Amino acid sequence: MCVKTDLNLGTREFVEGLLTQWYYELDPLLRPERYDLGEPIRKKLDDNGLKNAVETWLRAQMPVMLKRVSRPKFEASIDWRPRKGLDPRPFPWDCVVWLDFSAGDELAIKLFRFLISHFQPAFGWITSYQDEIEKHFITFQDRIGRTEMFVGLDPGETLPGVYWGTYFGPWAIQKIGREKFAQLPVGTIQHIGAGMLVFAYPTCKLAATVEGRKCEERIKACLGKELFFDKNAVDIESLKLSPESVAMIEAKVQEVLQKKKEMVGQHKADSTQATTN
């Protein structure tokens, strides 16, 4: 599941509110057990205390990652920086949670609604990993090999898509037009504050299935299919020139050059050792 936002995630009010309610007030089966600023996520909340996790986030001005090792397991990663800089995305921050599929629909919805209430997202979704791969994962050949990346996940000119559960915040509702939501089947919509949570089908088990796709397409037809990202319409050649792709390719080039440098260095070291012997 993922929520996309432009909210300031570095204030004490936000950090304390999110972590305290997640740890103490949400369903015990969704309680995080470990935290850290990056992987591996090893620090135990029971040992270090929730206050330490809060202060770690605030001191570093970098969100902590959260992990549950008991079933149902999950990992939560929050992307945020104090300054947006030159990032052109209108909603550059997100919270992504990889929840074990065994958790079931009810727990997944509880957690998703909790994230919506705290992150106040413009857009969000809850689906299976397979569904997300089929809709957003692409591969293409660049000048040094194959590049793999997820595309179309940021709300902007288009919305990422329609999923098992899709949250439309006030910004997304305005973009689509509130009147179009009245065309959706009865029982499809749950209102959360000023936003709408739309369920395309009864269970996440139908995600990435033929039946599920048909339900999603019907919702797109009501809301405006042209407003949603379509992986089949991606221009690969243009994508190769995007800042994200260029950065990924450059990183791969630097990685190759570094490996060559290390190999040359090792070869020289081996030659020197052989001469000495």
Taking only the tens place, the pLDDT of each residue in 46-104 is 999 999 999 999 999 999 999 999 999 999 999 999 999 999 999 999 999 999 999 99
The per-residue pLDDT for 253 is 45
Taking a C-beta distance cutoff of 8 angstroms, is the pair 71, 100 a contact?
A: yes
* Angle formed by the axes of helices 50-60 and 12-20, nearest 10°: 150
Question: Which is higher by pLDDT, 147 or 194?
Answer: 194
What's the pTM? 0.86
Q: For residues 116 and 172, what is the distance between their CA atoms, to the nearest angstrom?
A: 14
pLDDT above 70 (res 225): yes
Any idea where the domains of the chain sit in the sequence? 2-236, 242-277
The residue to which tokens 């770690």 are assigned: 56
